[in-house]
Structure 1
Amino acid sequence: MQADPTEQRRLLDLAAVDKNLAGLAHRRRTIPQLAELESNQAELTASERELGEVTTTRSDLTRDMDRLESDIDNVRNRQERNQQRLDSGAVSASKDLEALQHENATLRRRQQTLEDQEIELMEQAETLDAQIEKITAARDEIAARRGTAEGERDDQWAQLDVEIADEQTKRDTLAASFAADLLGLYDKIRATGVPGAALITQGRCGGCRMELSGSELAAVRSAAPNDVVRCESCRCIQVRTTESGL
C-alpha cells in the first residue's frame, strides 16, 4: 500500500487521539467510586443477610411467646373455673373437693413455669430487638455511603463523557480526512490491541518499542517515501520522520 508521506505522518495525530480515548475509557472503567460501590454492595448484602436471619429468629420467638401466652390463658381460665365451682358450693363431696384443690395447685405450678419461660423469651426478644436496631442502623449508614458514592460516580462519569465526546468529535473529523484504504488498514491494526501507527525513533518502533534489526532497518531505508511500512513485530504502520534515525 502507498500513501502520501504527509498523510502517513498525520496518522500520528490520529493515534494520539485514539490513545487519549483509550485512556479516558480506562479512567471511566476504573474511577475509585466503582470499587467503593462494589465494597458498599458487599457490605450491604452481608448486612441484609444478617438482618434477615435475626428478624426470622425474632419472628420465631414471637410465635413461641404467643403460644406460651395462650397456654397461660388456658391455665388461668381452668383455675378460675375450678375456683368458681369451689366457691359456689356446687361440689360437696370431700373427694371431689380434694381433687379440684389438687388440680388448682398443679395449675398454679404450671402457670408459674409458663410465666418463667415467657419472661426468659421476653429477655431474648429484647436482645434481638437491640440487634435488629443496631443492624438496621448499620445498614442505613452503608446505604447512605453508597448513595454518596453513586452521586460522585455519576459526576465523574458525566465529566468524562464530555471529554470522551470531545475527543470522539476530533477523531471523527480527523479520520474523515484520510483515504479509506489507509484508514481501514490503521483501524484493522488498532483492533488487534496495538497502535495503528507509531513513529520510528532512533531505529526503534514506537508501537512495540522493539529495536529494528539490521535487515529491518535496511528494508525501511530502501522503501519509497510513499510506501506504507509496517513493523515486523507488532505490525503497526511505521511512520518515518527526521527523528527516525534512518
Structure 2
Amino acid sequence: MKAAPKDQQRLLDLQGIDTALNQLAHRRRSLPELAEIEKVARELSALEDERVRAQVAVDDLDRDITRYEKDIEQVRTRKDRDQARLDAGGALREIEGLQHELATLNRRQSELEDAELELMEKKETVERALAEVKARLAEAGERRSAAEKNRDETYAEIDKEQEFKSQARVPLAADLPADLVQLYDKVRADTGLGAALFRAGRCGGCRIELYGADLNRVKSAPADEVVRCEECRRIMVRTAESGL
C-alpha cells in the first residue's frame, strides 16, 4: 500500500487519540470505587442476613414473653377468684383446698415471672446486637453511597474526556486516505495498536529491533510505502527520529 509520508506520520496522531481512548476505557473499567462498591455490597448482604437473624430472635422472644404474660395473667385471675372465695368463708375442707391451691398458684406465678425475667434479659442482649448490626448496616450504606458518588463523578470526567477525544478523532481520520485508515483500524482491532513509530531500528509496537535484511527492507522502502512489522504486523511509521 502507498500513502504519503505526512499521512503515515499523522497515523501516530490518530493512534495517540485511540490510545488515550483505550486508557480512558480501561480507567472506567478499573476504578477503585468499583471494587469498593462490590466489597461493600458483599458486606451489606452479610450484615442484612445478620440483621434478619437478630430480628427473628427478638420476635421469637417477644412471642414467648407475651405467652408468659398471658399465663401469668391467668394465674393472677385465678388467684383473685380463689382469694375472694376464701375471704367469703365456707367449710373447713373447702378453705384448706383454697389455701393449698393459692400456695400452688403463688409458686406457679413466681416460676412464670422468673422465666419471663430471664427471657426479657435475653431480649435486651439480642436487641443490643440488633441495634449494633443496624448501625453497621447504616455505616456500610454510607460508604457505598460515597463510593457511588465518587464513581459517578469520575465517570462524568471520563465521559467528557472521551467525547473530546472522539470529536478530535473524526476530522483527523476523515482527512486521511480511506484505505490507509481502513488498514490501520483493522490492525488496531487485531492487535490493539494500529501504528507505531519506527525508531533506531526498533518497531515501536512489539519493541523488537530489526537487523540485516529486515532492517534493509525498511531502509530501502520508498517513502510513500506503508511498511509493516514482520513480527507484530503493525504499521511502522518512519520519521526523522527513525534514524534511517
TM over 0.5: yes
Partner of 1:70: 70
- Please give the secondary structure, in 2, of the residue aligned with 1:226: coil
* Aligned mates of 1:189, 1:99 — CA distance in 2: 105
- Please give the secondary structure, in 2, of the residue aligned with 1:192: helix
Partner of 1:92: 91
* Aligned pairs, number: 244
Letter in 1 for 2:155: W
Alignment map for 1:1-246 (pairs within 5 Å): 1-89=1-89, 92=91, 94=93, 96-246=94-244
Could you list the runs of 4 or more consecutive aligned residues of structure 1 that deviate by over 4 angstroms after TM superposition?
A: none
Q: What is the Cα deviation at residue 93 of structure 1?
A: 5.7
Q: What CA deviation, in whole Å up to 9, does each residue of 1:74-129 have, x standing for no partner? A: 2222222222333334x5261x4333322222221111111001111111111222
Contact map agreement 1:194 1:207 (CA 8 A) in 2: no
Letter in 2 for 1:92: A
* Aligned mates of 1:191, 1:87 — CA distance in 2: 102
Letter in 2 for 1:191: A
Q: Which runs of 5+ in 2 are unaligned?
A: none
* Aligned mates of 2:173, 2:158 — CA distance in 1: 22
Of all paired residues, the percent bearing the same amino acid is 50
* Aligned mates of 2:169, 2:55 — CA distance in 1: 57
Aligned-residue Cα RMSD (Å) equals: 1.9
Bigger mean CA deviation after superposition, 198-207 or 230-239: 230-239
Contact map agreement 1:231 1:238 (CA 8 A) in 2: yes
Letter in 2 for 1:240: R
- Please give the secondary structure, in 1, of the residue aligned with 2:190: coil
Q: Which runs of 5+ in 1 are unaligned?
A: none
* Aligned mates of 1:101, 1:43 — CA distance in 2: 61
Letter in 1 for 2:3: A
**TM-score for both structures, normalised by structure 1:** 0.91
* Aligned mates of 1:48, 1:77 — CA distance in 2: 43
